[in-house]
């Protein structure tokens, strides 16, 4: 691959991953809920309805909000390092 040849998407990804590994980073993949899946949305709706119908709704929401605030207060701003964020981030 010469200096003027364009890299394929796979080559760019491989180069980026190699650079990240050279900086001591390790690839981790996460499975997260698909918010476009009707089953996931129905499950969320069931949970919200259960909280709303609970006699302890205010207490449950206060607990959730305090944990979220504590989590976010302890979350540092992400440092992308000297290369900055990847394209599109």
Residue 1 has pLDDT above 70, yes or no: no
Range 62-83 average pLDDT: 81
Two tokens, residue 49:
């309805």
Output the pLDDT for position 36. 95
Cα separation, 50 vs 46, in Å, equals: 6
Please state the pTM of the whole predicted model.
Answer: 0.44
CA-to-CA dists, residue 78 to 1, 38, 39, 85, angstroms? 34, 32, 32, 10
Question: DSSP characters for 47-77?
Answer: HHHHHHH-TTHHHHHHHHHHHHHHHHHT-PP
Structural domain boundaries in the chain: 31-75
Model confidence at 70, in pLDDT bands (50, 70, 90)? confident
């Amino acid at each position: 691959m010469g200096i003027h040849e364009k890299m394929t998407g796979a080559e760019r990804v491989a180069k980026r991953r190699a650079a990240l590994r050279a900086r001591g980073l390790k690839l981790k993949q996460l499975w997260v809920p698909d918010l476009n899946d009707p089953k996931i949305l129905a499950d969320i709706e069931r949970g919200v309805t259960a909280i709303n119908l609970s006699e302890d709704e205010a207490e449950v929401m206060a607990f959730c909000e305090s944990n979220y605030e504590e989590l976010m207060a302890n979350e540092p701003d992400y440092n992308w390092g000297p290369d900055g964020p990847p394209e599109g981030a």
